[in-house]
Amino acid sequence: MPLDHGLIGLESAPYERSWTSTDTLLYALGVGAGTDELAFTTENTAGIRQRVLPTFAVLAAQAPLGRRLGDFDPAMLVHAEQAFELHRELPPAGRVRTTSKVTGIYDKGSGALVTTEARAVDAESGELLISSRSSVFIRGEGGFGGDRGPKDEWAAPGRAPDYTVTYPTRPDQALLYRLSGDRNPLHSDPAFAARAGFDRPILHGLCTYGITGRALLHTVAGSDPARFAAMSGRFSKPVYPGETLTVSIWVDGQTALFRTAKEDGTVVIDRGRAAFRPA
């Protein structure tokens, strides 16, 4: 059946999820943090309290929509865009209650772009912790004559980046990252990846996103998660585990624009924006 346009604007029932110190440590390892980032990768280092990488907010705020979006081959679905706002620093262990909804289904011709948003509140106090927005592109589901969706006027500044940060990824990076919850076989099963048109499993877009978030955290926010307010970006090309990523960052006061690219210059996260709080 076609995509269910009746979902647009329909808020889901509250969905509760929790996480532990182990979950946030595993996430940090999954996005490449290591022995030089012990605040994020250990919980018992003398003189260092455990903290949480800000991009974990995207996982913490994930919630089901309440009913199926439609019947389509899941190999045709790719993550297109991701944004979040952190209203305060996340704890190493916590519990949230999240509501979500589809905000639009746009006709891109060769496929459909489905946009969603979610709001996660502290399960005990009701305090808003995370606002999240995302979109997925589903190949073969376009052509229904709908709105093509809003345009983004993002443009890179006409000057060299203020920072460039380069991080390698491991050949088994996707196998490690998937333990944080995304078991999509696109990232682990060669046969499934081939059906989707890839010669081998690709890295999760949200893993690349988390690696990019680490670069932003350490260069612009002084490695302080409490200063990290928001981040958004568009996934433009796939990354294969083992490739090296370079994040280019242009700073303007308490905001920044960024792009993430592979060694050959291929941009893999485009139209990046981030916001930070003063020290």
Token pair 């940090």: residue: 28
What CA–CA distance (Å, rounded) separates 160 from 154?
Answer: 16
Taking residues 82-100, report their average pLDDT.
98
Res 1 pLDDT > 70: no
- What are 17-67's pLDDT values in tens digits? 999 999 999 999 999 999 999 999 999 999 999 999 999 999 999 998 867
Residue 46 confidence (pLDDT): 98
Query: What was the pLDDT predicted at 2?
Result: 80
Catalytic hit among 23, 79, 187, 204: 187
Helices then strands, each counted (H, E), the chain: 6, 10
Distances (CA, A) of 44 to 35, 49, 133, 163, 251: 13, 7, 34, 32, 34
CATH topology of domain 163-276: Thiol Ester Dehydrase; Chain A (3.10.129)
Both tokens of residue 271? 């139209």
C-beta of residue 207 within 8 angstroms of C-beta of residue 177? yes
Q: Where are the alpha helices (H) located in 168-204, listed in sequence order?
A: 173-177, 190-195
Residue 256's DSSP bridge partners are: 251, 274
Catalytic residue, chosen from 107, 122, 152, 182, is 182
- Residue with structure tokens 């199926």? 68
* Amino acid in position 209: Y
**Token pair 């993550």 in the structure block, residue:** 79
Hey, do 5-139 and 163-276 end up sharing a CATH topology, with the first three levels equal? yes
Q: Is 229 helix (H, G, I), strand (E, B) or coil?
A: strand
Element (H, E) at 26: helix 21-30
- Mean pLDDT, rounded, of the chain: 95
Beta strand spans in the chain (E): 15-19, 77-86, 94-107, 111-122, 128-139, 163-168, 228-235, 244-252, 255-262, 267-276
Buried b (16+ CB within 10 A) or exposed e, 59-81: bbbbbebeeebbebeebbbbbbb
Across residues 123-132, what is the average pLDDT?
97
> What is the residue type of 137?
F
Give the model confidence (pLDDT) of 148-170 as tens digits. Answer: 988 888 999 999 999 999 999 99
- How confident is the model over 68-84, as a mean pLDDT? 89
- The ranges assigned to domains in the chain are 5-139, 163-276
Residue 187 annotated to the active site? yes
Classify domain 5-139 at the CATH superfamily level: Hotdog Thioesterase (3.10.129.10)
pLDDT over 90 (residue 251): yes
Cβ within 8 Å of residue 209, ≥6 positions away: 55, 58, 82, 231, 233, 235, 269
